A and B are shown apart, each in its own frame.
With several copies, the nearest count.
Chain A
């Protein structure tokens, strides 16, 4: 790890690709129109690595995913890019049924080192299918790790960790963070999977948030500073989930609000709340609040700003538990 510059998150992801593809010849990328590039994370890669390693496929998510899935069994380390993460649903069966169980059900003989990636998130007014937050759909199933970066630093470090992990890892990134700039060291470093980070210390309430919502959490913490002292925990990975870091924070604050840009129902927010009311029951001085997308398909039009979690909703929840 050497120099640190400011980079947009999407370039931090690309830097991880380049670093690891240079270092490890078995790393390949598979996707649709990744050579030309849909989002800038793949721009220019084909010039450096050629079409044997930057593999464009026909418009067919099962075949596309299969290129990666089968190659992983043959010793490659594929990164498979679904463009918009919601399109993973076209390959839900091989991902959620086959990939997730593959190692375990076959006696833990094989490992499948793969990264499954795609962009999503409210804010571009494209409607439910393009915005669709899929992290919790994948995290429901054991056998695939899931992470979502909040900062360019984490994006590069998590991506490096994801590519090197011997397991399938879903790396989901939020379109609303794509152009966020932040410090990114030039060299090699990993942000470990399965480890949350206290991104801001505080004493009155623990606020859990990641991805685009991390920015909203910071805005709310800034606004409330002086009044309410907010500790922000970024889970970074949501599966496996680092509940211990959250519990440690709760020991200090005894109050918990979880922001999860996802339908509320069976979300990471609900999972955290459930685990806390089991193993952390005595730590709680107030109800645990979840700030999520209400259980409606995410509308496009002009409705995202108030349907998706937003600073007002987060502030209200924080004030509520700190009454």
Chain B
């Protein structure tokens, strides 16, 4: 089903915001103003925005680790100020400054994060099971192509299809996992071929096209809510930069070719979306300028909030009190 203009405008708005947040995070890690690591989403921010913008309030959302989920956070409307505060170890962090990089917005059904790639293939089964029991909610579980190497992915897909759980397996396939290329990791051109093993419907979509992604996920969500079970949505995307800021950008042991990376840049999702909203008269240039201006201001507010928050250094006793409920 085609998107309406309002929907397209919202997607565009979210895409610009997500892109600004990603760049903010990149700048901060390079300036030493972010804890741990940052996995830039540069050039690949459309998939998360498209997948998450039209979810329902009760839907469970698991963001992808790339761009530290910025596209998804924007789509869901979680408090990025609190996430940045977390990522800088501040008391207003969404995890009390304990996690370095996790998100946790349980009241918004974004249940937490992990540094173990593919960790979510375990709880997603329960998220799906509970959603089916309750009805009127589903799960959007995002992750990368690499994560589908994990055996847990198989168990999740098997259970989901067996029990017809309302889950969208949303894969951002950027053809890379650190230095490994798609060919190193999977024998088939499409990672979503895996779905065939379970008779699960699979859709491949251009992950650079925020509108196409949104349409695909809306359809898969409808399918899920109708009790028809899971869908595998593979969003083909790309990785413009190194895996995480500071790691050399290699394919196996060789630097990735400049020419190849240059070609990838031509598929920038913001440029593509801007062309489309102008062409289809969804937004005027003036409105777009306004959106950019607002995004800049939002980033500044978020940074201010995090920077103003005091460093979290609770006592051992306070920490101990947090282990058990």
Contact pick for A110, options B111, B116, B150, CB 8 Å: B111
Instruction: Determine if A41 is an interface residue (Cβ-Cβ < 8 Å).
Output: no
Question: Is the CB of A111 closer than 8 A to any CB of chain B?
Answer: yes
The verdict on A59 contacting B316 (CB below 8 Å), with A93-B116, A106-B95, A107-B96 known, is: no
With a CB–CB cut-off of 8 A, which chain A residues contact B116?
Answer: 86-87, 89-90, 93, 97-98, 129
B127 surroundings in chain A (CB, below 8 A)? 70-71, 73-74
Contact mask for chain B residues 230-261; partner A; CB cutoff 8 A; 1 contact, 0 none: 00000000000000000110101100000000
- Stretch of B101-109, B208-216, B300-308 with 4 or more beta carbons under 8 angstroms from chain A: B101-109
Q: Return A9 CB to nearest CB of chain B, in Å.
A: 20
Of the candidates B111, B250, B319, the one whose C-beta lies within 8 Å of that of A299 is B319
Q: Mark B118-151, 1 if CB is under 8 A from A, else 0.
A: 1101111111111101100000000000110111
Q: Which residues of B contact A52 (CB under 8 A)?
A: 133
Give the shortest distance, in Å, between B117 (CB) and chain A (any CB). Answer: 6
- Once the chains bind, are B316 and A109 in contact (CB under 8 Å)? no
Interface assignment of B263: CB less than 8 Å from any CB of chain A? no
Cβ-defined contact, B180 with A33, below 8 A: yes
Q: Which of B119, B129, B131, B146 contacts A94 (CB 8 A)?
A: B119
Interface segment among A178-186, A280-288, A301-309: the answer is A301-309
Interface membership of chain A positions 163-196, coded 1 if the CB is closer than 8 angstroms to chain B and 0 otherwise: 0001100000000000000000000000000000
A-B contacts besides A110-B112, A127-B98, 5 pairs, CB < 8 Å: A58-B146, A58-B149, A66-B122, A104-B319, A166-B324
The docked-state distance in angstroms from the alpha carbon of A267 to that of B155 is 32
A98 to B185, CA, bound (A): 25
- Decide: B115 and A58 in contact? CB cutoff 8 A: no
Q: Which of B279-325 contact A (CB under 8 A)?
A: 311-314, 316, 319-320, 322-325
Distance in angstroms between the alpha carbons of A68 and B313 in the assembled complex: 33
From B35, B134, B156, B316, A300 is in contact (CB under 8 Å) with: B35
B313 interface neighbour in A67, A145, A302, Cβ under 8 Å? A302
In the assembled complex, 11 residue pairs joining A and B whose CB atoms fall closer than 8 Å, in A order, are: A58-B155, A60-B155, A63-B125, A67-B129, A72-B126, A73-B123, A74-B127, A143-B323, A294-B316, A300-B36, A301-B89
A36-B253 in contact (CB<8A): yes
The 9 closest A-B pairs by CB, nearest first: A70-B126, A300-B100, A36-B179, A63-B155, A74-B130, A70-B123, A106-B104, A301-B89, A111-B325
B104 and A301 within 8 A (CB): no
A163 to chain B, nearest CB (A): 14
0/1 per residue, B139-182, Cβ < 8 Å to A? 00000001101111011101100100000000000000111100
Q: Taking the nearest CB of chain A, how far is it from the CB of B56, in angstroms?
A: 15
A87: which B residues are within 8 A, CB to CB?
Answer: 116
* Separation of A300 and B90 alpha carbons in the complex (Å): 11
Greatest chain B CB density within 10 A among A57, A91, A93, A98 is at A57
We find that the number of chain B residues with CB closer than 8 angstroms to chain A is: 74
A62 with B122: CB separation less than 8 A: yes
**Alpha-carbon separation in the docked complex, A37 to B147 (Å):** 19
User: Shortest CB–CB separation between residue A44 and chain B, in angstroms?
Assistant: 8
Residues of B within 8 A of A (CB): 35-37, 60, 86, 89, 93-102, 104, 106, 111-112, 114-119, 121-131, 133-134, 146-147, 149-152, 154-156, 158-159, 162, 177-180, 184-186, 247-248, 250, 252-253, 311-314, 316, 319-320, 322-325
Which residues of A40-60 have CB atoms within 8 Å of chain B's CB atoms? 46-47, 52, 55-60
How far, in Å, is A193 (CB) from chain B's closest CB? 10
Does residue A35 face the partner (Cβ distance < 8 Å to B)? yes
Q: Per a CB cutoff under 8 Å, which of A60, A78, A98, A296 touches B114?
A: A98
Collect the chain B residues with CB atoms within 8 Å of residue A67's CB.
125-126, 129, 159
- What residues of B have a CB within 8 angstroms of the CB of A306 in the complex? 313, 316
